[in-house]
Amino acid sequence: MCSGSTMTQMDRTRLFDGWADHYDPSAAAEDDFPFAGYERILDEVVGLADVRPGMRILDLGVGTGNLAARFLRKSCLVWGMDFSAKMVAQARASVPQATLVRANLLDEWPISFQQRFDRVVSAYVLHESALDTRVKLLKRIATDRLSPGGRILIADIAFPTTSARAEASQRWAASWDEDECYWAADEATAACNEAGLLATYRQLSACGGVFVFTLDQSG
Ligand SMILES: C[S@@+](CC[C@H](N)C(=O)[O-])C[C@H]1O[C@@H](n2cnc3c(N)ncnc32)[C@H](O)[C@@H]1O
């Protein structure tokens, strides 16, 4: 079972600081693992979010602001969090209307982010943590940070099943990072259901897709 990045937080923020200047071309131009379908996948997050003007959106791991920008174009109010100072600086330049903060999404959130949002979204971020860490985070967000009727949308490097993920690890062995916990939808859905979350998943490229999570209020 993948246990997540073994790098220290300082090393991880340094890694993303170093990536910030050339992140956009590397993500958008990728036709292969891990970013295949990147633009379409972000568009799908917005489609599945089904927003109205004025809705409050939180983007976790906002990066340079590519997903946040899409919600601003829909006249939403956008908050973004990222632990890389350089990524936040890029986002401040590209989405100045968003409220941005430098913080680790796995730590206690800054006070101004301790509120409820209509949608909490994240793209290409959570695969850095182990599945049980992600499930606990998603449950906490669904319980404490979503408005009634809210939903969480997660786009990431993901596969429909654990066996599809195992095949992919062979196919892309040269660029597969064993420290990263790429999603398998069957495994993630079962773990989330167990924790009281409903989950749906849509595969959108050979290595990427979008989850929608809501609180299971049937029990
Ligand atoms: C691959 S980039 C994705 C950026 C953006 N979401 C996108 O789709 O283009 C991952 C981003 O998540 C941030 N990140 C990763 N782990 C984080 C954490 N634990 N807390 C806050 N930000 C984090 C990184 O600094 C980086 O900006």
Q: Measured in angstroms, how far is the CA atom of residue 63 from the centroid of ligand 1?
A: 5
Q: What is the pLDDT of residue 4?
A: 74
153: β partners: 121, 212
8 Å CB contact between 207 and 170:
no
Q: Which of the residues in the chain have pLDDT under 70?
A: 219
Nearest-CA residue for atom 1 of ligand 1 = 124
Predicted TM-score of the model (pTM): 0.97
Q: What is the pLDDT of residue 218?
A: 85
Residues 6+ apart with CB under 8 A from 158: 127, 182, 183, 184, 185, 188, 201, 203, 207, 208, 209, 211
Pocket test for ligand 1, best of 62, 82, 121 (most atoms within 8 A of CB): 82
CATH number, span 9-215: 3.40.50.150
Q: What is the pLDDT of residue 219?
A: 67
Return the ligand 1 atom nearest residue 17 CA.
25
Instruction: Please give the Cα distance from 91 to 96 (Å, whole number).
Output: 7
Nearest-CA residue for atom 26 of ligand 1 = 63
Q: Measured in angstroms, how far is the CA atom of residue 83 from the centroid of ligand 1?
A: 7
Decide: 104 in ligand 1 pocket, CB within 6 A. yes
Does the bond joining 34 to the residue before it have cis omega, within 30 degrees of 0? Answer: yes
Instruction: Please give the Cα distance from 47 to 60 (Å, whole number).
Output: 18
Q: What is the pLDDT of residue 191?
A: 98
Pocket test for ligand 1, best of 16, 140, 179 (most atoms within 8 A of CB): 16
pLDDT tens string 59-95: 999 999 999 999 999 999 999 999 999 999 999 999 9
Q: Measured in angstroms, how far is the CA atom of residue 105 from the centroid of ligand 1?
A: 9
Q: Largest Cα–Cα distance of the chain, in whole Å?
A: 47
The H helix count followed by the E strand count for the chain is 8, 8
Nearest-CA residue for atom 25 of ligand 1 = 84
